[in-house]
Chains A and B, each alone.
Chain A
Amino acid sequence: MSDKSKRKRAYWQIAAMIAALVLVSSFLFQLVLAEETSVKRKCEGTEIAMFREQLTLIPSSNVLERKNVEKKVEAWETMIAICETITPATVNPNETPQFIPWTPAPFETGIFEGQTGDIHSFDSKIENHWKGIVNGNNMIVFAGALANDPSQGIIIIHITSPITRKTVGNRYLSPTKSGALRIMEAKGNILVIHPSAGNQLYFHILAQQYVSTLTDNPPTINPFLITTSTPASLPYP
């Protein structure tokens, strides 16, 4: 083999070695880079995107509104920067969190106007409600009429156990369509109810039924054993 071809071969060998070295080191560099990128937390979510989108929608003439949203985008940029630097919290399952004690307000009893936010506006229009403690349970009796048929009176009962805090309830349409019901007074276990048009009604709170006189004493029921109707339909048809 001539010197020239030997030299040529040596060149090629050196070139191949350099290329291999570059190849390997670059690959390693890329892997390290990829590793670093994957370690960085993804904190930019839909929230900042929503505000950026708002900015594109607000006309430039509306300076005040634009400024307000720009402030929110800035706040989010700061929050994202903080989020990216924070290591995700590690959880110690044996550590008991420091809970904050809370004392609920006592259960008030009596007759009150309106409702308590429990009954949807499109369900029933509630005139008033009675609150009392019955057999140790907190009981609320709402009186009113169906929203889609104001001539149909309704009594809605919610009972909460102070021990388990479970709430159960039921609904009782008035026997006749004589308008919205209103609770006038409680006499023992019976509520005296006036429909907006029609004869006075009595509702026995222990038996959870309408009765004809104040002296009626139908068998009482355990509200927590009442099974309310469960929908027959399957959750996913």
Chain B
Amino acid sequence: MKSLMNLKLSHFIMGSFVIVLIIPRIINFPQMNELLDEDPYPSPSDKASFADEMNDLTITKKYLPIIPKGPPIFSKSWYVKTVDTQFWFGKGCEKGEEDRFITGKQDSVVILDFNFPTLTNGVYGAKLFSGGPASTSAIAAAVEFFGFGYYTCVQPDTTSTVVIAVGTNNCNQAICPGSISGDQYDDHGTSWAEMVNDIGTYFINHGQYPQVRAYGASDMEVGWNDAYTTKQWVDGYSSSNNWPMLNFGDAAGCPEFRTYTNAPCSNGWYQYTIWYISGRGGLNSSRPLPQIYDNGGRLARQWYSLSAYGYDMQNGRLDIQGALTQSEACSQVGCDPDLDNMPGHGYYQLQACLINDPVTLQFLKWSTDIGYSGY
């Protein structure tokens, strides 16, 4: 009886331990958090294992209806005309205030496009859209102040985040006099990556990361340079970057349908080269945030075709981050009336194209619209 009593007692104590240790874990729902963090649409690298799993299945596939989320609130991006730090602190603060006043966590991207790459007195930089060129250190200061302004004005909201995409482009010397020569692209890409690394380190050391992050970016347009030189820049960036990079360029002349081949685009480019500079199936740090300007959806269909090319001919679909439109620039300086998509239109066009085919299915997280910065 005594031993039975002792047994029950020890059981009771052990039971208490178990309950006490487990209950708080259940309250924290770690598994649920993992589920929430999990990407419902895995990246291209998961394709192989997924394909293996699918091969084992002989049952008929049934698709549940996919209900896309509405477009995210679009952010404003800028063609940069100055690296004045006070101005960019103010712009960052404006963005921070916007996010603070919107209920819930905001996650957005702001492209700061500093124009074509330059080399002035042995220092790399970018031309700016007025008053330039500016060195990478002056550009870094402007971006850091934008981030500082955002961080200052978004408080007490500690959950909203912004990615500042520090952009240049691939406009060559013949089209954009003052740009770097073809053999300097690799070096410029490396120094751009080092500049972005410095900015990222600044945000970490000042306690602003992960609310504020800096990515590299480039408006890589098919008509502005050859594929080889543009690839050189991406390789240069990828050689020393600690932060991702966004390709906010175009896919001019590429097909608008699934090709099952490496189809040609304009200016001697192929789908392969655009796929390469847009992430190389996850092998480099570039991700596309393409220009979706065309009212008729042509540009969206070209990027769908590229994503399908990645699936059919390479190691997986593109990991497209969102859609870029230029309605603000169009309202400022005018543009081709067929290329003035509003942010929601651009986002929907691209999303609709990607969602229509299971091989390119993904949800876009960002929508941004570019215009000329004041000052």
**Chain A residues within 8 Å of B, Cβ to Cβ:** 8, 11, 15, 18-19, 22-23, 26-27, 30-31, 33-34, 42-43, 45-47, 50-51, 53-54, 56-58, 68, 72, 75-76, 79, 82-83, 86-89, 91, 93, 97, 99-100, 102, 104-105, 107, 112-118, 120-123, 125-126, 138, 146-147, 156, 158, 160, 164-171, 228-231, 233-237
CB distance from A116 to the nearest CB of B (A): 7
A interface footprint on B262-291 (CB within 8 Å = 1, 0 otherwise):
000000000000000000011111000001
The contact of B374 among A83, A107, A164, by CB within 8 Å, is: A164
Known A102-B83, A228-B330, A233-B342; 19 more pairs at CB < 8 Å:
A15-B9, A22-B17, A54-B283, A75-B242, A82-B205, A88-B208, A100-B85, A104-B131, A107-B131, A116-B115, A117-B176, A118-B129, A120-B291, A156-B334, A160-B130, A228-B331, A235-B74, A235-B344, A236-B71
Pair count A-B, CB < 8 A: 224
Known contacts A86-B205, A105-B133, A165-B374: A43-B71 contact under CB 8 Å? no
Known contacts A115-B175, A117-B127: A104-B334 contact under CB 8 Å? no
B223 pairs with A122, CB closer than 8 A: yes
**Chain B residues within 8 Å of A, Cβ to Cβ:** 5, 9, 12-13, 16-17, 19-21, 23-24, 28, 43, 45, 70-71, 74, 79, 81-86, 89, 115-116, 127, 129-134, 138, 141, 145, 148, 151-152, 155, 158, 169, 171, 174-177, 179, 200-201, 204-210, 213, 221-224, 239, 241-244, 250, 252, 281-285, 291, 295, 315, 327, 330-337, 339-345, 348, 372, 374-375
Cα–Cα distance between A160 and B373 once the two chains are bound (Å)? 11
B342 pairs with A169, CB closer than 8 A: no
Residues of A within 8 A of B176 (CB): 114-117
The contact of A121 among B177, B221, B337, B375, by CB within 8 Å, is: B221
The contact of B5 among A8, A27, A50, A114, by CB within 8 Å, is: A8
Nearest opposing residue in chain A for B44, CB measure: A57
